[in-house]
Structure 1
Amino acid sequence: MGTSQGPTKFNSRRSPALGTNGMVASSQPLASEAGLRILRQGGNAADAAVAMAAALNVTEPTSTGIGGDAFALLFDGEEVQCIMGSGKSPAGMNLDVVRSRGYGDGVPLPFYDALTVTVPGAAAAWHDIVARHGRLSLAEVLAPAIELAENGFPVGPITAHLWEGGLPQLKGGGPHAVDLMKDGTRAPRAGEIMRNPNLANTFRQLVEQGKDGFYKGAIAEAIVEALQAAGSVMTLEDLAGHTTHFEPPICTTYRGMEVWEVPPPTQGITALMALSNLEAAIARDGKGVPEFHSTAHLHDSIECMRLAFSDALQHVADPRLATVPTSTLLSKEYAAKRCEMLDPSKAVAVEAGRPDTGADTVYFCVVDGDGMGCSMINSNYMGFGTGIVPRGCGFTLQNRGHNFSLDPKHPNCVGPSKRPYHTIIPGLCTYPSKGAGEKRVLANCFGVMGGFMQPQGHMQVINNMLDYSMDPQAALDAPRFCVEGVGDTASAEDVARSKVLVEEGISEEVKAELEGMGHTITGPLTGYSRQVFGRGQIIKRDPETGTLWGGSDPRADGLAIGW
């Protein structure tokens, strides 16, 4: 029998975790234990990250899974590598298909419609990360997750709350969603043991048959069967043609630190633009870094974030099928020019610039004793995604295609074999090389999950650490703001209609002053409502001593642990 609890309070204090031989951080303690176990068995950061990804699929299916997508940034001691594990829309998917179902022309595609499912990229990404960068076999890496799925695990309190909230998704997801219900009828309660033997079998197929065990054969057939029964145009050929992409990461500098993100079609560029905008705004004001969470600090941060979103929502799309002006959007000159329109005394109407064209997820990270860092994120997108569970597989299928625009003139408009604007983004920072022959050094792995909150969380925790000298745990504990509504139609026009949510801990005086400057403020939000501000993890590495500092977000069930 599960434990009955009153309202969860978010007011405890936690010190940062410390270690030297390795550190892991995730939103589930049992997933963190799985990563730590792999490090102790001789695996490296890449191995441990994939072990945690799979364990999180078991312990937090309300947010993530092998039926979703995954991205990673990996620092190998010399360079930052980027692994892009997102899939394309079906070859038969286009705007006419959407319109034939009664959507488009002002009628949005429903969140959980089978048409929103793109090819899941996580399975291939897990396989390829271990094959290219790991030390152990995939069988060793997935063993902890298989054990958790077969033997069962006690459900965490926040996960139980999210599971209950996602039950309607599962009940609408077809007959096999019972795999993810307690006794086939309900959500598990906090502390109850939950098993998922079908998911354990899915992991075994990936181990025994490699990527073909997921993208061809019985699992692929079950995916297509479930999707086509629900109205999707996904085919076996769509799945069989999937590959992981290995792209150059994108980068900017902030306070002398190199900040790395994954490139378009993700919104990693949004976080980098926001940081450059903030840097330009501070320089423009000429007063130095403002007092933490003062009106000036939050006003500049909100405006710089809105400015970045207006550009990203206008220009980010699949770069293989559209022209994305990445280099211009990332330039410091462009940031300075864009910030000229901002007013330090009031909120302004923000529109997308014209550069020359020359909510739920898990984030987790690992740094091993050799200084290799892996910053990784895995997602179903909205909770259980579509809630659709393929027969005998034990996982749900994501709804990532909901981020396509339905505007035929937009570069991110839905189309065949196309990757949508993608919200999930891992982050990583390095100290730049000091001169010829010198190597860059890992500074930290960081990330904050939560749909369109993610670049906002990235900007805020980097700002906290670099401008206000917070350790990783303090940077995650600090109250946040969220510009809400920016993803409603996947267009730049969303920014003008957006409002600002503030978390408990931001003063009423500052809130009132921001409202007086023209910001539409809601909050302060408390309790479970704080989920909207995302859930993050950070591991920082001291370049002199090699000491690792870890933090895990208090808005989740998670844990950072090292040794």
Structure 2
Amino acid sequence: MKRIATFLFFYCCASLASEAQDRPLGKTFATRSVVMAQRGMACTSHPLSTQAALDVLKSGGNAIDAAIAANAMEGVVEPHVNGIGGDIFVIVWDAKTRKLYGLNGSGRSPYGLSLAELKKRGLTHIPSKGPLPVSVPGCVDGWFELHKRFGKMPMEKVLSHAIHYATVGYPVHDEASFSWSKMIANFGDLPNVKATYAPNGHAPARGEIFKNPDLAKTLTLIAKGGRDAFYKGDIARTIDAFMKKNGGFITTRDLADHTSTWIDPVSTNYRGYDVWELPPNGQGIATLQMLNILEAYDFSKIPYDSPERIHLFTEAKKLVYEDRARYYADMDFAKSPVKALLSKEYAAERRKLIDPKKASSRFDAGNPALKDGDTIYLTVADGEGNMVSLIQSNYRGFGSGMVPDGLGFMLQNRGEMYSLTEGEMNTYAPHKRPFHTIIPAFVTKNGQPFMTLGVMGGSFQPLGHAQILMNMIDYGMNPQEAGDAPRIDHQGSSEPTGERMVDSGYITMESGYAYETIRELMKMGHAIRYSLGAYGGYQAIMYDPVQKVYHGATESRKDGQAAGF
């Protein structure tokens, strides 16, 4: 009897596990419940950052103050994906004016580096490591632009949480410890890297306490001296001296001349929802172009797990990414035809190129002028109705490997994204912003705030945005379910750096899709790969205007937290 009971126990466990694995996608596909609150909400990729934001809200700050506090904390606790050596993009819903405001806080290339110099060195692309990919860090100026326009709480108090944890330390989380070990192996031979990030002689292990006193000093200077402490004071002079000493080109002039830019978000309507992104030099409008193409298909009759949905989504992505490679660039240097790219007429013309039964082997960019001329994302909302969608990054993980003496942070390598092919929109030029992958998003409905969202992950981000929105709008998922549902990615499209699509590329799929679906996709001509790790990192806040309640969601594949009060 004992053996029979044991057998039945394990049989039941196996059956339950099987049912859990085979359960239908959609409303049951969630790892946790949505978090709900009325007076304030913060969703970030690290619990300490979420708690910093909530502390600011509870102390009288607003969503903008709280978002800056969370971002500063992220630079302390997750230096493998962001920091003050990188750039920032933000969309703010201001409850007083009931309008959206966009901020482009990306930095520019150095005045003293030319395309001719890069070609003289025999380069066909800018490397990801060392001094050459370093562009001016825009994050700190972005904070102060946001605070000057919308903030309430003094910056010394806003940055106090980050300063505290940089000083006393914090336990390193799982994802960070994994990335940290690879960073030391990659950058450990460069100046100040080990002294800053491996002070005990090794990359901090999971649960080990890490302190960054140099970063605490830098943040204290910024909190007291404002943005000029970073761009015109001792910090700027230290960066200049370090770059000169190590073959770099960023100077005090580059830093002093840096400015963020307030810009109007752009949108498209997808089934009654206005989806807002920022215009280039970022890639946000790729999401809008994809939604315009996909809007013509009735996904209420196309199952989520079907090869038809994945095929149509992938083909739309391929079409859009050819435009992305050709037309997305710094609009002070290139006339990107944003209005034409986002027109429904242009989407209809491009949609005609999709074969519903066969994967394309090649697409070229369209001609819209003929028609009309590693990263963190966080979101915060407050009791007044202000909502912030913020994304910030050093680009590849920790960045370039360049750690200026005594400052406690690594400079970004976003300059890797320039093309070195003459005559392209994203071709390198002095004092030019590079193509950017990091994109915040916002959704309104009938002129009212509906949702903030962002999905980290380089070139995956527009796909992530589109998948989340379709999961909610087409498949009825709530914000947490929409993020937990298995994702797909596609690689192999042309890139703004000059690479060109030569075949159909490949689809990467997370577990959760039926083998029959995968086989049908392969019959259509798609190459399929399984994802060996999570890609993307999602946070969102949805607002219920009837109950006046925020619904928060966070990435189940990472170490984040959604919380409110």
TM over 0.5: yes
Specify which of 107, 115, 126 is matched with residue 87 of structure 1. 107
Specify which of 197, 216, 220 is matched with residue 200 of structure 1. 216
Secondary structure in 2 matching 1:116:
coil
* 1:199–1:325 distance in 2 versus 1, CA, 3 Å: same
* 1:345–1:416 distance in 2 versus 1, CA, 3 Å: same
User: Does the alignment pair 1:154 with 2:171?
Assistant: yes
Rounded Cα–Cα distance in structure 2 between residues aligned with 1:506 and 1:93 = 48
Partner residue, 1:267 = 283
User: Does the alignment pair 1:424 with 2:435?
Assistant: no
Confirm or deny: 8 A CA contact 2:126 2:417 kept in the other structure. no
Specify which of 363, 370, 377 is matched with residue 350 of structure 1. 363
Specify which of 307, 314, 321 is matched with residue 295 of structure 1. 307
Partner residue, 1:209 = 225
* Deviation (angstroms), 1:290: 1.2
Confirm or deny: 8 A CA contact 1:172 1:387 kept in the other structure. no
Partner residue, 2:385 = 371
Partner residue, 1:330 = 342
Partner residue, 1:393 = 407
* Deviation (angstroms), 1:346: 1.0
Confirm or deny: 8 A CA contact 1:364 1:375 kept in the other structure. yes
* 1:294–1:318 distance in 2 versus 1, CA, 3 Å: same
* Deviation (angstroms), 1:494: 3.4
Partner residue, 1:465 = 472
* Deviation (angstroms), 1:538: 0.8
User: Does the alignment pair 1:451 with 2:451?
Assistant: no
Confirm or deny: 8 A CA contact 1:289 1:467 kept in the other structure. no
* Deviation (angstroms), 1:253: 1.0
User: Does the alignment pair 1:341 with 2:353?
Assistant: yes
Give the partner amino acid of 2:452.
Answer: C
* Deviation (angstroms), 1:489: 6.1
Structure 1: unaligned runs, 5 residues or longer: 1-9, 433-439
Confirm or deny: 8 A CA contact 2:103 2:142 kept in the other structure. yes
Specify which of 505, 523, 527 is matched with residue 516 of structure 1. 523
User: Does the alignment pair 1:121 with 2:138?
Assistant: yes
Q: TM-score, normalised by structure 2?
A: 0.92
**What RMSD in Å do the two structures reach over aligned CA positions?**
1.7
Specify which of 45, 58, 63 is matched with residue 45 of structure 1. 63
Give the partner amino acid of 2:436.
Answer: H
User: Does the alignment pair 1:143 with 2:160?
Assistant: yes
Rounded Cα–Cα distance in structure 1 between residues aligned with 2:75 and 2:300 = 44
User: Does the alignment pair 1:550 with 2:562?
Assistant: no
Secondary structure in 1 matching 2:181:
helix
* Deviation (angstroms), 1:21: 0.9
The C-alpha deviation readout for 1:25-75, integer Å capped at 9, x for no partner, is 011011111011111111111111111100000000000000000010000
Rounded Cα–Cα distance in structure 1 between residues aligned with 2:245 and 2:504 = 37
* Deviation (angstroms), 1:176: 4.9
Confirm or deny: 8 A CA contact 1:500 1:520 kept in the other structure. yes
* Deviation (angstroms), 1:441: 1.3
Secondary structure in 1 matching 2:240:
helix
Specify which of 352, 373, 384 is matched with residue 398 of structure 2. 384
Give the partner amino acid of 2:279.
Answer: P
Partner residue, 1:243 = 259
Give the partner amino acid of 2:319.
Answer: L
Confirm or deny: 8 A CA contact 1:310 1:495 kept in the other structure. no
Partner residue, 1:188 = 204
Rounded Cα–Cα distance in structure 1 between residues aligned with 2:328 and 2:561 = 34
Rounded Cα–Cα distance in structure 1 between residues aligned with 2:176 and 2:390 = 20
Specify which of 8, 12, 15 is matched with residue 33 of structure 2. 15
* Deviation (angstroms), 1:472: 1.2
Give the partner amino acid of 2:333.
Answer: L
The C-alpha deviation readout for 1:517-547, integer Å capped at 9, x for no partner, is 1111111x24xx22xx211101111121111
Rounded Cα–Cα distance in structure 2 between residues aligned with 1:217 and 1:251 = 39
Rounded Cα–Cα distance in structure 1 between residues aligned with 2:120 and 2:245 = 17
Rounded Cα–Cα distance in structure 2 between residues aligned with 1:173 and 1:340 = 51
Confirm or deny: 8 A CA contact 1:384 1:396 kept in the other structure. yes
Secondary structure in 2 matching 1:115:
coil
Secondary structure in 1 matching 2:159:
helix
The C-alpha deviation readout for 1:496-530, integer Å capped at 9, x for no partner, is 4632111111222211111111111111x24xx22
* Deviation (angstroms), 1:205: 1.2
* 1:445–1:12 distance in 2 versus 1, CA, 3 Å: closer
Q: Structure 1 runs of 4+ off > 4 angstroms?
A: none
* 1:468–1:23 distance in 2 versus 1, CA, 3 Å: same
Q: TM-score, normalised by structure 1?
A: 0.92
The C-alpha deviation readout for 1:112-157, integer Å capped at 9, x for no partner, is 1311111100010011111211111111111111111111111111
User: Does the alignment pair 1:315 with 2:327?
Assistant: yes
Give the partner amino acid of 2:515.
Answer: E
Secondary structure in 1 matching 2:380:
strand
Give the partner amino acid of 2:322.
Answer: S
Confirm or deny: 8 A CA contact 1:352 1:492 kept in the other structure. no
Rounded Cα–Cα distance in structure 2 between residues aligned with 1:305 and 1:130 = 36
Confirm or deny: 8 A CA contact 1:252 1:258 kept in the other structure. yes
Confirm or deny: 8 A CA contact 2:193 2:401 kept in the other structure. no
Partner residue, 1:234 = 250
Partner residue, 1:5 = none
Give the partner amino acid of 2:363.
Answer: V
Rounded Cα–Cα distance in structure 1 between residues aligned with 2:32 and 2:333 = 46
Rounded Cα–Cα distance in structure 2 between residues aligned with 1:229 and 1:244 = 28
Rounded Cα–Cα distance in structure 2 between residues aligned with 1:116 and 1:514 = 38
Rounded Cα–Cα distance in structure 2 between residues aligned with 1:422 and 1:495 = 23
Confirm or deny: 8 A CA contact 2:492 2:503 kept in the other structure. no
Structure 2: unaligned runs, 5 residues or longer: 1-20, 22-28
Rounded Cα–Cα distance in structure 1 between residues aligned with 2:436 and 2:502 = 17
* Deviation (angstroms), 1:469: 1.3
Rounded Cα–Cα distance in structure 2 between residues aligned with 1:52 and 1:168 = 29
Rounded Cα–Cα distance in structure 2 between residues aligned with 1:258 and 1:246 = 20
Confirm or deny: 8 A CA contact 2:426 2:496 kept in the other structure. no
Give the partner amino acid of 2:411.
Answer: L
Partner residue, 2:26 = none
Confirm or deny: 8 A CA contact 1:17 1:551 kept in the other structure. yes
Rounded Cα–Cα distance in structure 1 between residues aligned with 2:493 and 2:397 = 19
Confirm or deny: 8 A CA contact 1:93 1:414 kept in the other structure. no
Confirm or deny: 8 A CA contact 1:32 1:561 kept in the other structure. yes
Give the partner amino acid of 1:317.
Answer: A
Confirm or deny: 8 A CA contact 1:112 1:169 kept in the other structure. no
Whichever of the two has the greater Rg, that structure is 2
Specify which of 281, 285, 292 is matched with residue 276 of structure 1. 292
Confirm or deny: 8 A CA contact 1:177 1:389 kept in the other structure. no
